[in-house]
Amino acid sequence: MNLRSNIVVNLLILAVGILLIVFCNGNVLSTLIIIIGIAFIIPCLANIIMILTRKEKDKEGNNINRSKASFASGLIASLGGIGLGAWMVISPESLMGIMVYLFAAMLVIAGLYNIIMLAFGHRPMKFPLWMYILPSLMTIAGIIILCTDIKSIESTVVLITGIAMVAFAINRFLELGKIGDEHTR
């Protein structure tokens, strides 16, 4: 990734982290699950409309018969997406545990990714040991969340995830700054 895209990605991670911190005491997970459900439903509905109304023509303007398998698979996939999205909108609580585990896995993966990038990804550059603290803490936080009872820690998970995302973004900005300093020498 180039510097500009790294900065944009880090700014997005920072913004999402701040939002999670600010709204950690509300029903953030339920709201997030509902938003994801709607994000499933809308394109699937659009795809069904497109499948049902699309008329394919060849170069001479003659109608082309679509493959029944193509038609059926597109329709089934879209109906499945609508079903999943409806489930997420109607019953977000039933998917809360999955979301918590996804957040925890995201923390572990992001922490390990950052550690690996600091250690090996920018060779031969060496980073100071203090830059490994935040990614290590993110990884540990993710592991703790994976080992904790889900129902009792919803707001804690959201808060930890938000803090970890902010820490990840800050650490990446510091890393990019160090890389920029090395390249200007």
Q: What's the first-to-final CA gap in the chain, in angstroms?
A: 21
Q: In this predicted structure, what is the pLDDT of residue 185?
A: 62
pLDDT at 78 over 90: yes
pLDDT band at 146 (very low <50, low <70, confident <90, very high): confident
Residue 62, number of CB atoms within 10 A of its CB: 8
Q: Which two tokens stand for residue 121?
A: 């990804």
pLDDT at 1 over 60: no
CA angle at residue 181 from 179 to 184, to 5 degrees?
110
Mean predicted confidence (pLDDT) in 34-40: 90
Contact 108, 146 (CB under 8 A): yes
Q: Can you give the residue ranges of every domain in the chain? A: 3-184
For the ranges 49-63, 74-88, 119-133, 160-174, the one whose mean pLDDT is highest: 74-88
Rounded CA separation 107/142 (Å): 5
Rounded CA separation 141/161 (Å): 9
Q: In this predicted structure, what is the pLDDT of residue 183?
A: 63
Mean predicted confidence (pLDDT) in 6-10: 85
pLDDT band at 6 (very low <50, low <70, confident <90, very high): confident
Q: In this predicted structure, what is the pLDDT of residue 182?
A: 65
Contact 106, 161 (CB under 8 A): yes
